[in-house]
Amino acid sequence: MLFQYDEDSIKSLDWREHIRLRPGMYIGKLGDGSSPDDGIYVLVKEIIDNCIDEYAMGYGKTIEITLEGKQITVRDYGRGIPLGKVTDAVSKVNTGAKFDSKVFQKSVGLNGVGTKAVNALSHYFKVTSFRDGKEKTAEFQRGILIKEYKESKTNAANGTLVTFIPDDTVFKNFRFHPEFLENQIWNYCYLNAGLKIIFNGKTYVSKNGLADLLMRKTNEDEIRYPIIHLKGEDIEVAITHNNDYGEDIYSFVNGQHTTQGGTHQQAFREAYVKTVRDFFKKDYEASDIRTGIVAAIAVRVVEPVFESQTKTKLGSVNVDVNGPSMKQFVGDFLARELDLYLHKNPATADALKKRIEQSERERKEMAGIRKLANERTKKANLHNKKLRDCRIHLNDEPPARGREEFIAKQQETTLFITEGDSASGSITKARNVETQAVFSLRGKPLNCFGLTKKVVYENEEFNLLQHALNIEDGLDGLRYNNIVIATDADVDGMHIRLLLMTFFLQFFPDLVKHEKVYVLETPLFRVRKGQETIYCYDESEKAEAVKKLGPKAEITRFKGLGEISPDEFARFIGPDMRKQLIRIEQGDHIQQLLEYYMGKNTPERQDFIIQNLRIEMDAPVEVS
């Protein structure tokens, strides 16, 4: 049957309907809150961004944030929304002060959509503006105005108060993880030294800006020289090196964490290499200069142009409408300030030189091995033998038409690393072929703790995995936004998880630091009675399911991923997928962690195992 294309085929959606129909265009992926870039955290960010803009303009030095279950409340002490426009400001697209660049010269939100998206995607949304002794409140449900209050007198300080609960019909089974919100808050503080943010009663503040960020991301005993901290008009940079492989660069524009980088991050990478070469008067390889770097750059520009509504990648190339290009702006700053710093601090310059020369030696030692490994990879026919690839990749150039929708899908790109043919077969049949790829392991990987990167090229599994991810030369070419380890929930599966985590932490720690690596959670039990089926991820969920369906319910215990049919698997790796992020906590030393868990079997580790085994054995066991 042919599709009838006539006047009735043309639909006009209002702002609320469009946001709810295509939420990915406005907030990226949806998710359940188990990932820091899930949509519920973007909603929080959109509200806080408005508070930060007020602070940047010189109004309000404190922001209060409260999380109660699934409800978020944000209070700032800026000027407050003009009372006559409170309702319009949160419910009419293309309404806002940020179109007037004189008012918000270097704001993050320039298109008047952010707060409206929060409103449309919230089960409940309430906004109150306090301004010059008066207040005005409006309440919404899923973007629809349900009550608008009249202006009234108040003794409250100027500012805006927003309360919202994300819509659980959009964000299914969601919950907020406070640690992800805490990371967001710290970034705001680093970028706005002196700003005080109070989250659930705890105060967050930074005195030294990006230098504090690097101190939080590293340890004093890890870094090769004291942090270089440089500040100029509309630019701030912090730099150090450690002994890790790869690059660890954090970039920001107008207070927005650009997790996908952009023109400013690329300008920094190039300018840093040029400045170092010029200082030492030697044409070092760029990779040798940047290996082991831990850095952060923040810039403020007029009317930034981002690649998508979620603002994770900067696209604009000029600092101002008629100003210098980003490349020239960052290049001139580093050529002047970093060069001066290195001349004034010869001990730092010497330590930097030694780190570069160490990388140079290691690269030359690896050259022959790397060439042979690459030849073996081609012969192994990676894409047919090990990798069932997807159609969209993180580093693909978005098309001109449907650009934002394509970028939203890029954020969903996932590589599942599986064990065995049965598990990889089930996931391959159940996956979304547009955004989900599957890499199949053969047996247990090598414990690579304490080994050099030479093993990555000499070990076939590691070499092929590295090529599948395209991370041989760093994260620039990373093909998937999420790396999900999918193993059985038994002893062997847990062991494989640990070995893979060791691989990433040892050789590609920036993947973990930038929160790209997860462990897939799959159900342990299926409880079924009649036409109703409940999948349970632990004993407590199973008990609830049995209570709901009755004692005669059929209970199936999944022993491995291969036992789950493709039809069932589709729901476990779809929009409702549960996955656990692999995170490095503040203060954790990677090499010490690996030494403790993956090194020689010390008495301390034996005691740890015995103590935790006792806890498990003492816990009540339910037998069905």
Tokens for 336, please give them.
């002047």
Tokens for 242, please give them.
């450690």
> What pLDDT, on the 0 to 100 scale, is given for residue 400?
83
Distance CA 563, CA 422 (A): 8
Tokens for 251, please give them.
């970039």
Q: Which of 581, 515, 583, 577 is nearest to 174 (CA)?
A: 577
DSSP per residue, 376-404: HHHHHTHHHHTEE--S--TTSPPPSTTHH
Q: For residue 419, what are the β-bridge partners?
A: 441
Q: Is 168:149 a contact under the CB 8 Å cutoff?
A: no
Residue scoring higher pLDDT (303 or 445):
445
> What pLDDT, on the 0 to 100 scale, is given for residue 461?
87
For the residues 564-574, what does the mean pLDDT come to? 85
For the residues 141-153, what does the mean pLDDT come to? 93
**In the 3-class helix/strand/coil scheme, how is 52-85 assigned residue by residue?**
HHHHHCCCCCEEEEEEECCEEEEEECCCCCCHHH
Q: Is 471:477 a contact under the CB 8 Å cutoff?
A: yes
Give the β-pairing of 414-419 and 159-166: unpaired
* pLDDT tens digits along 395-417: 898 888 888 788 888 889 999 99
Does the structure show a pLDDT above 70 at 5? no
Tally of CB atoms within 10 A around 366: 16
Does the structure show a pLDDT above 60 at 88? yes
What does the DSSP 8-state code read for residue 588?
-
Distance CA 434, CA 253 (A): 30
> What pLDDT, on the 0 to 100 scale, is given for residue 257?
84
For the residues 365-371, what does the mean pLDDT come to? 78
Q: Which of 274, 282, 286, 289 is nearest to 327 (CA)?
A: 274
For the residues 563-591, what does the mean pLDDT come to? 79
pTM of the predicted model, to two decimals? Answer: 0.76
Q: Which of 450, 452, 423 is nearest to 438 (CA)?
A: 423
* pLDDT tens digits along 192-245: 989 999 999 999 999 999 999 998 888 777 889 999 999 998 899 999 998 888
Q: Which of 159, 27, 141, 164 is nearest to 86 (CA)?
A: 159
Our CA angle for 476, 478, 481, nearest 5°, is 120
> What pLDDT, on the 0 to 100 scale, is given for residue 12?
52
Q: Is 446:515 a contact under the CB 8 Å cutoff?
A: no
> What pLDDT, on the 0 to 100 scale, is given for residue 624?
33
* pLDDT tens digits along 231-284: 998 899 999 998 888 888 999 988 888 877 888 999 999 999 999 999 999 999
Distance CA 204, CA 178 (A): 14
* pLDDT tens digits along 482-527: 999 998 877 888 889 999 999 999 889 889 888 899 999 888 899 9
Does the structure show a pLDDT above 90 at 133? yes
> What pLDDT, on the 0 to 100 scale, is given for residue 611?
75
Backbone angles phi, psi at 442, to 5 degrees: -115, 105
Does the structure show a pLDDT above 70 at 616? no
* pLDDT tens digits along 317-342: 677 666 788 899 999 999 999 999 99
Does the structure show a pLDDT above 70 at 99? no
Mean pLDDT of the chain: 85
Q: Is 46:328 a contact under the CB 8 Å cutoff?
A: no
Least confident of 82-86, 124-128, 339-343, 381-385: 381-385
Residues 276, 281, 283, 285, Cα dihedral to 10°: -30
pLDDT band for position 21 (cuts 50, 70, 90):
confident
Q: Is 416:438 a contact under the CB 8 Å cutoff?
A: yes
Tally of CB atoms within 10 A around 491: 8
